[in-house]
A and B are shown apart, each in its own frame.
Chain A
Amino acid sequence: MSEAINRQVDHSHMQVSDRVAIDIRNMNKWYGTFHVLRDIDLTVYQGERIVIAGPSGSGKSTLIRCINRLEEHQAGHISVDGVELTSDIKNIDKVRSEVGMVFQHFNLFPHLTVLENCTLAPIWVRKTPRREAEATAMHFLEKVKIPDQAHKYPGQLSGGQQQRVAIARSLCMQPKIMLFDEPTSALDPEMIKEVLDTMIQLAEEGMTMICVTHEMGFAQAVANRVIFMDQGQIVEQNTPSEFFNNPKSERTKLFLSQILGH
Chain B
Amino acid sequence: MSDTHAQTVPFVRDTMLPAAPPPATQAGAVRWLRENLFSGPVNTVLTIIGLLIIWFLVSHYWDWFAHSVWNANSLNECRQIIIDTWGEGARGACFAVIRERWNQYVFGFYPPELYWRPTMTFGLLIVALVPVLFSASLTIRRAVLVITAIATLTSMIALGSPVIWLAFATLVLAGGFVASERNLGWLLPFSMLYPLMGVWFLWGGSVWGPVFVLVGPVLGWIAWRILAGRMPVIAVLAGVVVTLLFWLFLSGSAAEDAQRLLPMGIEAVRSDRFGGFLLSVTIGVAGIALSLPLGIVLALSRQSDMFLIKSLSVVFIEFIRGVPLITLLFVASLLLNYFLPPGTNFDIILRVIIMVTLFAAAYMAEVIRGGLAALPRGQYEAADALGLDYWKAQRLIILPQALKISIPGIVSTFIGMFKDTTLVTFVGLYDPLKSMSDAVRANIEWKGIYWEPFIFVGAIFFIICFAMSRYSMYLERRLQRDHK
Which A positions have Cβ atoms within 8 angstroms of B? 68, 70, 89, 93, 96-97, 99-101, 103, 105-111, 120-121, 124-125, 153, 155-156, 169-170, 173
B481 CB contact (under 8 Å) in A89, A99, A155: A155
A-B contact pairs, 18 of them (CB 8 A): A68-B385, A70-B381, A96-B384, A101-B382, A101-B385, A103-B378, A103-B382, A103-B385, A109-B382, A110-B482, A120-B386, A120-B388, A124-B392, A125-B388, A155-B481, A155-B482, A156-B484, A170-B385
Nearest CB on B from A106, distance (A): 8
16 more CB-based (< 8 A) A-B contacts, given A105-B378, A111-B400? A97-B386, A97-B387, A105-B376, A106-B378, A107-B378, A107-B382, A108-B382, A109-B382, A109-B401, A111-B404, A120-B396, A121-B386, A121-B387, A124-B396, A125-B388, A153-B484
- How many of B's residues come within 8 Å of A, CB to CB? 22
Query: When A70-B381, A109-B397 are in contact, do A125 and B386 touch as well, CB less than 8 Å?
Result: yes
Nearest CB on A from B270, distance (A): 47
Do B401 and A111 touch across chains, with their CB atoms under 8 A apart? yes
A-chain residues with CB within 8 Å of residue B404 when the two chains form the complex: 111
Within 8 A of A (CB), among B374-429: 376, 378-379, 381-382, 384-389, 392, 396-397, 400-401, 404
The answer, yes or no, to whether B178 is at the interface (CB within 8 Å) is no
Q: Interface readout for B446-484 with A: 1 if CB under 8 Å, 0 if not?
A: 000000000000000000000000000000000101111
A70 CB contact (under 8 Å) in B385, B389, B400: B385
The docked-state distance in angstroms from the alpha carbon of A106 to that of B379 is: 9
A-chain residues with CB within 8 Å of residue B481 when the two chains form the complex: 110-111, 153, 155
Do A110 and B401 touch across chains, with their CB atoms under 8 A apart? yes
B-chain residues with CB within 8 Å of residue A93 when the two chains form the complex: 387, 389
A120 nearest in chain B by CB position: B396
B-chain residues with CB within 8 Å of residue A124 when the two chains form the complex: 388, 392, 396
B388 CB contact (under 8 Å) in A68, A70, A100, A121: A121
B-chain residues with CB within 8 Å of residue A99 when the two chains form the complex: 385
B386 CB contact (under 8 Å) in A106, A110, A173: A173
B-chain residues with CB within 8 Å of residue A169 when the two chains form the complex: 386
A109 CB contact (under 8 Å) in B379, B384, B482, B484: B379
- DSSP class of B's interface residues: helix, strand, loop or mixed? helix
Do A96 and B386 touch across chains, with their CB atoms under 8 A apart? yes
The docked-state distance in angstroms from the alpha carbon of A9 to that of B483 is: 38
The docked-state distance in angstroms from the alpha carbon of A170 to that of B387 is: 11
> Which of B381, B382, B384 has the most CB atoms of chain A within a 10 A radius of its CB?
B382
A-chain residues with CB within 8 Å of residue B378 when the two chains form the complex: 103, 105-107
A-chain residues with CB within 8 Å of residue B397 when the two chains form the complex: 109, 120
The docked-state distance in angstroms from the alpha carbon of A144 to that of B212 is: 56
A99 nearest in chain B by CB position: B385
B-chain residues with CB within 8 Å of residue A156 when the two chains form the complex: 482-484
Query: When A155-B482, A155-B483 are in contact, do A96 and B387 touch as well, CB less than 8 Å?
Result: yes
A95 nearest in chain B by CB position: B387
The docked-state distance in angstroms from the alpha carbon of A156 to that of B400 is: 19
B-chain residues with CB within 8 Å of residue A68 when the two chains form the complex: 384-385
The docked-state distance in angstroms from the alpha carbon of A93 to that of B384 is: 8
A-chain residues with CB within 8 Å of residue B385 when the two chains form the complex: 68, 70, 96, 99-101, 103, 170
A65 nearest in chain B by CB position: B381
B-chain residues with CB within 8 Å of residue A100 when the two chains form the complex: 385
A-chain residues with CB within 8 Å of residue B483 when the two chains form the complex: 155-156
B-chain residues with CB within 8 Å of residue A153 when the two chains form the complex: 481-482, 484
Nearest CB on B from A167, distance (A): 13
The docked-state distance in angstroms from the alpha carbon of A66 to that of B396 is: 24
The docked-state distance in angstroms from the alpha carbon of A107 to that of B378 is: 5
Q: Which 10 residue pairs of A and B lie closest in terms of their CB atoms, listed nearest first?
A: A97-B387, A107-B382, A107-B378, A121-B386, A155-B482, A96-B387, A101-B385, A153-B481, A125-B387, A111-B400
The docked-state distance in angstroms from the alpha carbon of A173 to that of B387 is: 9
Nearest CB on A from B140, distance (A): 21
The docked-state distance in angstroms from the alpha carbon of A155 to that of B481 is: 7
B401 nearest in chain A by CB position: A111
> Which of A103, A108, A121 has the most CB atoms of chain B within a 10 A radius of its CB?
A121
The docked-state distance in angstroms from the alpha carbon of A99 to that of B379 is: 17
B404 nearest in chain A by CB position: A111
A121 nearest in chain B by CB position: B386
The docked-state distance in angstroms from the alpha carbon of A169 to that of B397 is: 14
A-chain residues with CB within 8 Å of residue B386 when the two chains form the complex: 96-97, 120-121, 125, 169-170, 173
A-chain residues with CB within 8 Å of residue B387 when the two chains form the complex: 93, 96-97, 121, 125, 173
The docked-state distance in angstroms from the alpha carbon of A155 to that of B396 is: 18
Query: When A124-B396, A155-B481 are in contact, do A107 and B388 touch as well, CB less than 8 Å?
Result: no
B378 nearest in chain A by CB position: A107
A-chain residues with CB within 8 Å of residue B376 when the two chains form the complex: 105, 107
B-chain residues with CB within 8 Å of residue A121 when the two chains form the complex: 386-388
B-chain residues with CB within 8 Å of residue A101 when the two chains form the complex: 382, 385
Do A107 and B381 touch across chains, with their CB atoms under 8 A apart? yes
The docked-state distance in angstroms from the alpha carbon of A153 to that of B376 is: 17
The docked-state distance in angstroms from the alpha carbon of A156 to that of B396 is: 21
The docked-state distance in angstroms from the alpha carbon of A109 to that of B400 is: 10
The docked-state distance in angstroms from the alpha carbon of A93 to that of B388 is: 8
> Which of B376, B379, B386, B397 has the most CB atoms of chain A within a 10 A radius of its CB?
B386
The docked-state distance in angstroms from the alpha carbon of A106 to that of B389 is: 20
A98 nearest in chain B by CB position: B387
B389 nearest in chain A by CB position: A93
B479 CB contact (under 8 Å) in A111, A170, A173: A111
B-chain residues with CB within 8 Å of residue A109 when the two chains form the complex: 379, 382, 397, 401
The docked-state distance in angstroms from the alpha carbon of A128 to that of B479 is: 27
Nearest CB on A from B191, distance (A): 23
The docked-state distance in angstroms from the alpha carbon of A106 to that of B381 is: 11
The docked-state distance in angstroms from the alpha carbon of A60 to that of B382 is: 18
B398 nearest in chain A by CB position: A109
A-chain residues with CB within 8 Å of residue B482 when the two chains form the complex: 110, 153, 155-156
The docked-state distance in angstroms from the alpha carbon of A120 to that of B388 is: 9
